[in-house]
Amino acid sequence: MGSLMNRVYLDFNATTPVEPQVLDAMLPYFSAEFANAASIHTPGQRARAAVETAREQVAALIGARPQEIVFTSGGTESDNHAIFGVVGQAFLPVSSSRDANSPHLVTTAIEHEAVLNACQALEKQGARVTYLPTNREGLIDLQDLRRAIRAETVLITIMHANNEIGAVQPLEEIGRVAKEADVYFHTDAVQSAGKIPIDVNKLQVDLLSISGHKLYAPKGIGALYVRGGTRLRQLLYGGHHQRGFRPGTENVAGIVGLGKAAEIAHKSLAEEARRISALRDKLQHGLLQRVPHSRLNAGAAPRTPNTTNLVFPGVEGEALLIALDLKGLACSTGAACSSGAVEPSHVLTAIGLPPEEARASLRFSLGRHTTSADIDFALNVVPAAVAQLRELSPTYGKMAEAR
């Protein structure tokens, strides 16, 4: 039973551990190479060189030019910078009363809060926002997108891969629509970067957000791809760092870490995707077989290779999550609010799950360190935990009879 003492982590969409090689690359930049990358002296120039190398590494991961990469504090800042930057540049200032000329944005109902809440803040300032619905698989309809675009549309912001269900939107087609309509196109690629290939030119995106800690770099570092020529109002005001796009002394160690992590991800992407998707498929197949009445959420969509989201009717996902954690398995349900309590997932309700099924859903997200033994462990503990919960469920008995 000693093996149970260990902890299995299947929540890599929440965050990833810093890769040892990444940490090694970063360490010199805390003390030995501590200089400010904006300084003119030799130590400063060495820090600058490290930052520029990292810029190249990040650019290579997404097929961009290095000068199109802006380092930020993470995915949330990147999303905010893209959204407020485009709208602020197009309409300065945004008029406080909504009228026919108010700037218009198109997004989806399943975006991350960093995008949704930025859009809602703009709505309060007078902008108009269309939240595109998705089908049961979490995918938008391109016809809906075309219909949503109007003369005042300044930005389309649609995520690449969804954090909860892994569904990958047809960015290439969306990019084509945006191009035809001559509207800026931003994508939150926080969950796709490093997991599936990204080529900003093929996808025709103008802006793309990346978060370091989702790809084995540390928390607190991210990047925003800004296609050359994109008119973007800056979000922060300060010195002239990063061409004035993003002032603030560069987080050299974090930037070096993100660069190294991007390099590793770029190299191992195809092989890792194959390995992880095989494990993911083993997990979801096993759970569907062993847990009666379980179903996949968005299982027919193209998905990131590491993510699976299942509904276990008759259980409270919150209780299941805690039961599994106490048994040593870390996974996720819905979104946590500031107190840490689980709130019903806006993503699962948006793809059409009734609230009770949204609450009965669990996300497993695998990563570079997931082993076959981890999956075996999950396949042992999850069905047992679900059975235990259902035994005490006030609704499951009735539900099972009705089937």
Partner 1 sequence: MTTGTQFDTLPERAETQRGLVAVAMSGGVDSSAVAALLQQQGRAVVGLTMQLWNQRRLPELQGDGPAQHRCCSLDDVYDAKAVAQHLNFPHYVVNFEEQFEERVVRPFVDQYLSGRTPIACTNCNTDVKFEPLLRMARQIGAERLATGHYARIRRNDATGRWELLRARDESKDQSYFLWGLSQEQLSRSDFPLGELTKEEVRALARRANLPVAEKPESMELCFVPTGNYVQFIQAYSLERGISLHHSEGEIVNENGDIIGRHDGVHNFTIGQRKGLGFAAGKPLYVLSIDPEKNRVVVGEDDVLRKAVCEVEGVNWISRDQPSDTIRAFAKIRHKHEPAPAIIEPLEAGIARVTFDAPQRAITPGQAAVFHDGEVVLGGGWIR
CB-based contacts of 339, cutoff 8 Å, min separation 6: none
Q: How far is CA 277 from CA 18, 231, 269, 273, 308, in A?
A: 21, 39, 12, 6, 10
Q: Using CB under 8 A, which of 327, 349, 352, 395 touches partner 1? A: 327
d(CA 115, CA 261): 24
* Contact status: 196 vs partner 1 (CB under 8 A): no
d(CA 366, CA 377): 13
Q: HSE on the CB side for 268, CA within 13 Å?
A: 13
Between 22 and 252, CB nearer to partner 1: 22
* Contact status: 372 vs partner 1 (CB under 8 A): no
| CB distance 59 to 68 below 8 Å | yes
Q: Please identify which of the residues 1, 32, 337, 392 carries the catalytic annotation.
A: 337
Q: Using CB under 8 A, which of 36, 117, 388, 395 touches partner 1? A: 388
Between 140 and 375, CB nearer to partner 1: 375
Between 221 and 320, CB nearer to partner 1: 320
* Contact status: 323 vs partner 1 (CB under 8 A): yes
Between 154 and 321, CB nearer to partner 1: 321
The residue length of the chain stands at 403
Residue type at position 266: H
Using the contact rule CB under 8 A, the part of the chain among 48-56, 241-249, 321-329, 395-403 near partner 1 is 321-329
Q: Using CB under 8 A, which of 57, 284, 306, 370 touches partner 1? A: 370
Q: Using CB under 8 A, which of 322, 381, 399, 400 touches partner 1? A: 322
Between residue 16 and residue 45, which ones bind partner 1 under the rule CB under 8 A?
17-18, 20
In the numeric block, which tokens belong to residue 222?
């991210």
Q: Is 119 a catalytic residue?
A: no
* Contact status: 268 vs partner 1 (CB under 8 A): no
In the numeric block, which tokens belong to residue 18?
């810093």
Phi, psi dihedral angles at 63 (to 5 degrees): 70, 30
- Closest contact distance (angstroms) between CB of 216 and partner 1 is 10
Q: Using CB under 8 A, which of 240, 340, 401, 403 touches partner 1? A: 340
d(CA 24, CA 20): 6
- Closest contact distance (angstroms) between CB of 395 and partner 1 is 11
* Contact status: 286 vs partner 1 (CB under 8 A): no
**Cα torsion through 6, 12, 16, 17, rounded to 10:** 10
Q: Using CB under 8 A, which of 32, 40, 151, 341 touches partner 1? A: 341
d(CA 224, CA 246): 10
Using the contact rule CB under 8 A, the part of the chain among 26-34, 36-44, 94-102, 316-324 near partner 1 is 316-324
* Contact status: 343 vs partner 1 (CB under 8 A): yes
Q: Which residue has the tokens 């300044």?
A: 154
Q: How far is CA 304 from CA 34, 169, 207, 243, 364, in A?
A: 37, 10, 20, 34, 12
* Contact status: 369 vs partner 1 (CB under 8 A): yes
Using the contact rule CB under 8 A, the part of the chain among 97-105, 132-140, 153-161, 310-318 near partner 1 is 310-318
Closest Cα to residue 318, out of 362, 349, 350? 362
- Alpha helices by DSSP H, listed for 211-363, are 252-290, 317-326, 346-350, 355-359
Q: Using CB under 8 A, which of 143, 182, 339, 401 touches partner 1? A: 339
Chain residues binding partner 1 by CB under 8 A are 1-9, 17-18, 20, 315-316, 318-320, 322-323, 325-328, 337-343, 369-371, 373-374, 377, 388-389, 392-394
Positions marked catalytic = 337
